[in-house]
A and B are shown apart, each in its own frame.
Chain A
Amino acid sequence: EIVLTQSPGTLSLSPGERATFSCRTSQSVRSNYLAWYQQKPGQAPRLLIYGASSRATGIPDRFSGSGSGTDFTLTISRLEPEDIAVYYCQQYGTSPKTFGQGTKVEIK
């Protein structure tokens, strides 16, 4: 099983600041089959990024993904108050399709 480790556990930032989330995997992710999801309180997850760097339909361009192999990053270029959520990475190239433990974003 591929283990995904996300850091930091919690990110506390002010509106307008840049947010950077890390996702490291225990093995190389096949063909960079890595996705990022946003989960707001009381809501279902929402797909943000797939294929490590492709934005899903309707996702603002302040969200971007990068990385390859075992090291991936999600960046929010300018944090908005509505970005308060938990962010999860998931690899979908190998069974089981494992998730990271999540990074929580708080607004200062």
Chain B
Amino acid sequence: EVQLLESGGALVQPGGSLRLSCVGSGFTFSSNALSWVRQAPGKGLEWVSYIVGSGSYTDYADSVKGRFTISRDNSKNTLYLQLNSLRAEDTALYYCAKYQYNTFYSYMHVWGKGTTVTVSS
């Protein structure tokens, strides 16, 4: 069974940093593109970032560009999201999602359960 398990969410002060992790199982991790998608409390879904299977190409939403960094360690079947210069508006449930194909033009067909980031003083 294909599974994604996020971790690393926490309460952090504005301006602080955090690293989220997502461990994948049940599939060939290095052959699949992945994304982070977030959902602020009571709000809709916001696509945050994308990384291709090899890690050679990444993409970001304008709202996080320059502050967040997506990366992956295929030897550990783990996806990361480094969050820096955090703001109150980054408070959200962060989902890890797997694409059906290892290409930008693909859709997210498996989602994790999410990890919660709260930015507050």
**Stretch of B12-20, B71-79, B80-88, B103-111 at the chain-chain interface:** B103-111
Q: Contact at B105–A31, with CB atoms within 8 Å?
A: yes
**In the complex, B25 has a CB within 8 A of chain A:** no
Q: Contact at A88–B45, with CB atoms within 8 Å?
A: yes
B47 neighbours in A (Cβ, 8 Å):
90, 96-99
Contact-residue bracket for chain B: 20 to 34
Q: Contact at A90–B45, with CB atoms within 8 Å?
A: yes
Contact A92 B106, CB 8 Å, known A44-B95, A44-B111, A44-B112:
yes
A90 neighbours in B (Cβ, 8 Å):
45, 47, 107
Contact A33 B59, CB 8 Å, known A97-B47, A99-B44:
no
**Stretch of A10-18, A20-28, A45-53, A76-84 at the chain-chain interface:** A45-53
A98 neighbours in B (Cβ, 8 Å):
47
**In the complex, A105 has a CB within 8 A of chain B:** no
Q: Contact at B50–A97, with CB atoms within 8 Å?
A: yes
**In the complex, A1 has a CB within 8 A of chain B:** yes
Q: Contact at A45–B107, with CB atoms within 8 Å?
A: no
A86 neighbours in B (Cβ, 8 Å):
44
Contact A88 B61, CB 8 Å, known A45-B95, A50-B100:
no
**In the complex, B53 has a CB within 8 A of chain A:** no
Q: List the interface of chain A (C-beta within 8 A of B).
A: 1, 30-31, 33, 35, 37, 39, 44-47, 50-51, 56-57, 86, 88, 90, 92-93, 95-102
Q: List the interface of chain B (C-beta within 8 A of A).
A: 35, 37, 44-47, 50, 59-62, 95, 100, 104-109, 111-114
29 residue pairs bridging A and B, Cβ less than 8 Å apart: A31-B105, A33-B107, A35-B108, A37-B45, A39-B45, A44-B95, A44-B112, A45-B37, A45-B45, A47-B109, A86-B44, A88-B45, A90-B45, A92-B104, A92-B105, A92-B106, A92-B107, A93-B105, A95-B50, A95-B59, A96-B59, A96-B60, A97-B47, A98-B47, A99-B45, A99-B46, A101-B44, A102-B44, A102-B45
